[in-house]
Copies of this chain bind each other. A is one copy, B any other.
Amino acid sequence: MSLSPLTDRLVEALSVLPGVGKKTAQRMALYLLEHNRKGGLQLAKQLNDAMDKVGHCTQCRIHSEEPVCRICRNRSRNQSLVCVVESPADALAVEQSGGFRGVYFVLMGHLSPLDGIGPEQLGISLLVGRVAKGDIKEIIVATNPTVEGEATAHYIADSLREFAVIVSRIAHGVPVGGELEYTDGGTLNHAFSGRKRLD
């Protein structure tokens, strides 16, 4: 069933959002029509603006409507410390943790030869180029601890072997607030091999 052609098309358009099925899209469309038309129009405007204008930072490949993003432009950040992540969402998570004051490099994926994603697609030559300039002291590889993420991390480390740059990998172990009882074996092994002396 359908209410009206325009509403139907709105429901269909809303279904492109991740995690939004037909039923949720219907609820969203009716909510906007009944209670928040101004919000709906504002959303339309922001969507248009963002889809049209947001590109990628030429230095770190994060989403940005300017050639160089806010973070890469920010001189109060440590521009010689680069955190390599798989996606902008990962960069956002690191940023929201509040503990990192360097800059990012976003791969926009991980090595996955079967899907045709190689070093080219991940912009690794861009990263190597930045390191070659000599301004970067340390690269922290924060790809996900999955098979592909680990492979990508090792590839990056290999690519940077010839330069005088420290390449490090974030620690894997028991999450803070986690319980040993419910931690998987792989994580526990990482936690043991990465143990630190208590001083």
Contact = CB atoms under 8 A, between A and B. Distances in A.
Contacts of A28: 17-19
Interface in A9-33: 9-10, 12-14, 16-19, 24, 26-33
B47 A43 contact: yes
A39 B47 CA distance: 10
Interface in A26-67: 26-34, 36-37, 39-54, 62-66
Interface residues on A, range: 35 or more
B66 A30 contact: no
Most central of A3, A28, A30 by chain B CB within 10 Å: A3
A167 to B, nearest CB: 25
B3 A49 contact: no
A118 interface: no
B96 A6 contact: no
A63 B43 CA distance: 20
Interface of A: 1-7, 9-10, 12-14, 16-19, 24, 26-34, 36-37, 39-54, 62-66, 69-70, 87-89, 91-92, 95-96, 108
Nearest to A27: B18
A63 B7 contact: yes
Contacts of A16: 32, 36, 39-40, 42-43
